[in-house]
Structure 1
Amino acid sequence: MKKWAYLLGGVLIGAVVATTGNAFADTIKSLVGQTVAGEYTVKVNGSELAENAIVVDGKAHVPLRAVSDSLGAGIKVDGKTIQIETQSSAKSPVETKKNPQQESENNQVYTQNIEARITSIKSYKSFWENSLKGAEDSLVKQNKRIDELTNLPASNDPITQENRKRSLASAQETIEENSKQITEYKGKIAEYDEKIAKLEAELEASNK
């Protein structure tokens, strides 16, 4: 439950950074305290988005910025209204020349969208980094516990022997679980690093 709370926090942070103004204020208020029931990979025309969708209160919430970017649509927040324009609707049928100012504004919006997505993904990565640290700390603690139990003076008391045996088994079980978690968390962090690197490369290319 705690992990999902952090994750939901990351989604909300990403939503706030990805937009301006108070357009997401009502959504945030309605999601605070809700349980994230699941997480889905989002693909647009076969391409996987960097951010995942989440399920809260039986409803799926998708990353709007990432979806609009993948479709080549422009997104603008005006007060509590989110305006989305496709490339075809954004242009007049009789328009034949490019507007330098409009082109510059579009490039700025595109850059801001990428920066917002990077910030959002970094919040996901931060969650898994915190989880990794917790698992590593627990692993160190359990290894120390095993050393302490192993070095205790021998005892002929059956109850004491049984208690030590159970404690050793419990510590070993926790170590195995921690090891699995560490491998999993490192894998997720590597995935987010790859996504961030890809977006940063896009950002660098757009600024040239």
Structure 2
Amino acid sequence: MKKWTYLVSGILIGAVVATSGSAAAAQIKSLIGQKVSAELTVVVNGKELPNKAPVINGVTNAPVRAISDALGADLQLEGKVINITTNETVPSVSNENTNSNQNSSSGSTTTNKYFGISEKTLLELKESIENNTLKPTIEGRNQILAEIETIKKIWDNPDLTKINKQLAEYDEIIKNAEEELRLVNEALEALGK
């Protein structure tokens, strides 16, 4: 009787091991044999990397080793974990200032996504928001306002529905850009600027 028990137990254990092994293999093979739909060029700090980033099933797979080497980071593979470390230090600011800020108009606390970003990147972002978003949007909005005044002088009851819709879109873009700029300026202040 004991022999049959051992035999049945062995068969059951073998079935469990065989099934879990094929499930693990299915996970490992998930990208193997999949079609690469595109290859993207990777640029780090203005320098093009020789490695491409393949797009597989709509997901871009960046070359981690090449990127970490280009950034001067140390990459270590420990089991199934990739550890990347840099020599860059995050500015020492208390958790109160780092994780949240007080929105004075609403009294609510929000997270500033720009804390911990380098000063150079923040200054570039600030310039981009000011010159590439705010300035042209405000100019476009002002142009529409001038056109409205011209239309009002020519027609008695003009239909301004489309124009007012476009004005509202400009107002929303300006509002969002000003909030982004406020967060960038707040992060710069935290760095001592």
Q: TM-score range by the shorter chain?
A: 0.3 to 0.5
The answer to which structure, 1 or 2, has the higher relative contact order (CA under 8 A, 6+ apart) is 1
Q: Which has the higher strand share?
A: 2
TM-score (norm 2): 0.35
Q: Which has the higher helix share?
A: 1
The higher radius of gyration belongs to 2
